[in-house]
């Protein structure tokens, strides 16, 4: 049963069983600015969150920056060839060190130097050098140079962020002691993705859109296909929707979209005759196309409670796209725009405050999983 | 995107000349935030496509334009307004913000409130 904000209906927690009445996350979790603040820690500060693609930083010292839940990080490749992440924050007095460099336009450096007082760090985060004024007490009449303590390189190094990968896909976790390893959070998805040659593909396109709804509103839309028949008519024409399946796992779900017999689908990165879309809690998707030799990723990045950025990246064998690939990307963009219309309209409705708790249908079990995970995160 | 919003009061529309990003903003300074966000994830510089503000300037010189608008905005000219007015003279947001940065570093302007500036 739907619950309204009419002074009579009462909301409940998201039931574990989807057939029960209170099976959706209460509406205020989509519209409340305090929830957005809470999510920075409870969602984006505790789970494994996608940071970027290792192919973009092939050489020692290559780096890109990312902001996740308000935390700014540098993702770089150290002297050993390992990808590592550090807060973009100086160990001296906390300055932001590097300017933003998205992975579409990565930077490169030999050492990380803070522009404020020129403390310099190795690519493994250790403090490499400081200017003379940190070794001698020339300006301080109360101190002689001998009493200036030396700075241990490691103890005064950068703050590292826990990092792990699935193939070339790099994830970070901001918890001091993460509850789960990336392998545990990803489960079977890790093996499935690592069986594919993801690293052989190049980033060909990035499209970023700002959409006026809560990030979870879009996540819910991505995860179900009850809206497809009415709203993605061009796309569903090629699908056998009744043969398709939405598979739910612990922290990810997979939308298996079967093609109709007559659809030309020999071009694929994977074996199954289907498009395979992975949603990985909290805000990442990997889209294995059914009819193009490539894949895409989405980052669903909150701006505030009522807006998010969709960062859509497209990977193909070659960054120079063929005409068919160009067309494919355009179709994907068209799908996005159709969905943006839907979620902005849904959010307009949600924002009016009438709805207290929605209800989910039997084939929205993926959305139910999303809502359950959000609730678990908030309660943890 | 944001079709509904276009009918209500809004400051204008922005687009990216490099990718196919389009958006509309309600407040002029939302454009500046949006510019920074887009730059941070793409490296691209978005530009005003259409503005719905009365502020107009007769010059393409940033300092002169700012001086002219200063009378109307006692608490500082919002960078969104300044960039929109200068866009009509063919000056991009990137050029305006670069010029503002240079002027600020010279001490020629000040920022009485965040992202609002006045000539000294
Ligand atoms: S804050 Fe970075 S060197 Fe001082
Ligand atoms: Fe959709
Ligand atoms: Zn762009």
Strands A245-248 and A71-77 turn out to be unpaired
Which pLDDT score, from 0 to 100, does residue A240 have? 87
Q: How far is the CA of A136 from the centre of ligand 3 (A)?
A: 48
**Ligand number with the minimum distance to the CA of A343:** 2
pLDDT for residue B98 is more than 90: yes
d(CA A283, CA A170): 14
- The stretch A210-225 carries a mean pLDDT of 97
% of chain A with per-residue pLDDT over 90: 92
A76 close to A61: Cβ distance less than 8 angstroms: yes
Which pLDDT score, from 0 to 100, does residue B63 have? 97
Nearest C-alpha in A relative to B26: A212
- The stretch B107-113 carries a mean pLDDT of 96
d(CA A277, CA A256): 7
Model confidence at B9, pLDDT cuts 50, 70, 90, reads: low
pLDDT for residue A130 is more than 80: yes
Concatenating the DSSP letter of every residue in A140-183 gives -TT--GGGSPPPPTTTTSPPEEEEEEETTEEEEE-SSS-SS-HH
Strand, coil or helix: A37: helix
d(CA B112, CA B118): 8
Asked if the C-beta of B120 comes within 8 angstroms of chain A's C-beta atoms, the answer is: no
- The stretch B62-72 carries a mean pLDDT of 96
pLDDT for residue B2 is more than 50: no
Please identify, by atom number, the ligand 1 atom nearest to the C-alpha of residue A91.
2
Which pLDDT score, from 0 to 100, does residue A261 have? 82
All residues of chain B having their beta carbon less than 8 Å from the beta carbon of residue A212 are: 1-2, 5
**A119: Cβ below 6 Å to ligand 1?**
yes
- The stretch A326-330 carries a mean pLDDT of 95
Model confidence at B7, pLDDT cuts 50, 70, 90, reads: very low
Tell which B residues from 36 to 55 touch A, by Cβ distance under 8 Å.
Answer: 37-43
Give how far A64 is from chain B: nearest CA, Å.
10
* Phi/psi of residue A77, nearest 5 degrees: -110, 125
Please identify, by atom number, the ligand 1 atom nearest to the C-alpha of residue A117.
3
pLDDT for residue A368 is more than 80: yes
pLDDT for residue B1 is more than 50: no
d(CA B86, CA B55): 9
Give how far A134 is from chain B: nearest CA, Å.
27
d(CA A320, CA A203): 10
**A117: Cβ below 6 Å to ligand 1?**
yes
Mean pLDDT in chain B?
Answer: 92
Which pLDDT score, from 0 to 100, does residue B6 have? 42
Q: Which residue has the least CA distance to atom 4 on ligand 1?
A: A117
- The stretch A153-160 carries a mean pLDDT of 97
All residues of chain A having their beta carbon less than 8 Å from the beta carbon of residue B97 are: none
- The stretch A98-113 carries a mean pLDDT of 98
**A5: Cβ below 6 Å to ligand 1?**
no
- The stretch B2-25 carries a mean pLDDT of 78
What predicted TM-score, i.e. pTM, was given to this entire model? Answer: 0.94
Model confidence at A356, pLDDT cuts 50, 70, 90, reads: very high
All residues of chain B having their beta carbon less than 8 Å from the beta carbon of residue A210 are: 1, 23, 34, 37
**From the centroid of its chain, how far is CA A136?**
45
Which pLDDT score, from 0 to 100, does residue A290 have? 87
Mean pLDDT in chain A?
Answer: 96
Give how far B89 is from chain A: nearest CA, Å.
27
């Amino acid at each position: 049963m739907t619950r309204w904000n009419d002074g009579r209906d009462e909301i409940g927690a998201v039931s574990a069983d989807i057939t029960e009445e209170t099976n959706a996350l209460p509406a205020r979790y989509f519209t409340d600015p305090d929830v957005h603040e809470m999510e920075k820690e409870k969602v984006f500060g505790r789970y494994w969150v996608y940071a970027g693609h290792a192919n973009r930083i092939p050489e020692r010292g290559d780096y890109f920056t990312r902001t996740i839940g308000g935390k700014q990080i540098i993702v770089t490749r150290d002297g050993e060839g390992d990808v590592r992440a550090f807060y973009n924050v100086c160990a001296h007095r906390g300055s932001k060190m590097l300017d933003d460099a998205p992975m579409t336009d990565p930077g490169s450096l030999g050492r990380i130097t803070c522009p404020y007082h020129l403390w310099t760090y190795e690519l493994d985060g250790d403090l490499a050098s400081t200017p003379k004024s940190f070794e001698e007490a020339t300006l301080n009449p109360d101190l002689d140079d001998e009493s200036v303590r030396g700075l241990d390189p490691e103890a005064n190094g950068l703050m590292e962020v826990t990092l792990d990968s699935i193939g070339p896909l790099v994830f970070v976790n901001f918890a001091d002691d993460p509850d789960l390893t990336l392998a545990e959070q990803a489960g079977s998805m890790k093996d499935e993705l690592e069986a594919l040659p993801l690293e052989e593909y190049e980033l060909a396109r990035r499209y970023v859109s700002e959409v006026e709804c809560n990030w979870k509103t879009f996540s819910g839309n991505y995860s179900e296909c009850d809206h497809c028949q009415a709203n993605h008519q061009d796309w569903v024409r090629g699908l056998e929707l009744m043969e398709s399946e939405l598979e739910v796992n612990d922290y990810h779900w997979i939308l298996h979209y079967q093609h109709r017999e007559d659809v030309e689908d020999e071009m694929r990165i994977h074996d199954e005759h289907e498009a395979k879309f992975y949603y990985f809690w909290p805000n990442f998707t990997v889209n294995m196309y059914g009819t193009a030799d490539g894949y895409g990723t989405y980052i669903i990045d909150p701006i505030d409670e009522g807006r998010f950025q969709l960062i859509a990246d497209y990977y193909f064998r070659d960054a120079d796209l063929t005409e068919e690939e160009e067309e494919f990307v355009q179709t994907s963009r068209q799908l996005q725009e159709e969905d943006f219309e839907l979620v902005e309209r849904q959010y307009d409705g949600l924002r009016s405050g009438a709805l207290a708790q929605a209800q989910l249908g039997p084939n929205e079990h993926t959305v139910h999983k999303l809502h359950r995970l959000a609730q678990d995160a908030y309660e943890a | 995107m944001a079709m509904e919003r276009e009918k209500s009061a809004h400051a204008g529309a922005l687009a990216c000349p490099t990718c196919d990003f389009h958006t509309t903003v309600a407040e002029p300074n939302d454009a500046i935030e949006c510019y920074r966000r887009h730059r941070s994830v793409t490296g691209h510089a978005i530009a005003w496509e259409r503005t719905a503000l009365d502020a107009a300037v007769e010059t393409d010189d940033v300092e002169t334009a700012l001086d002219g608008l200063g009378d109307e905005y006692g608490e500082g000219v919002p960078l969104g307004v300044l960039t929109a007015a200068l866009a009509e003279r063919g000056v991009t947001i990137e050029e305006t913000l670069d010029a503002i940065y240079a002027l600020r570093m010279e001490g020629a302007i000040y920022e009485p409130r965040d992202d609002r500036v006045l000539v000294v």
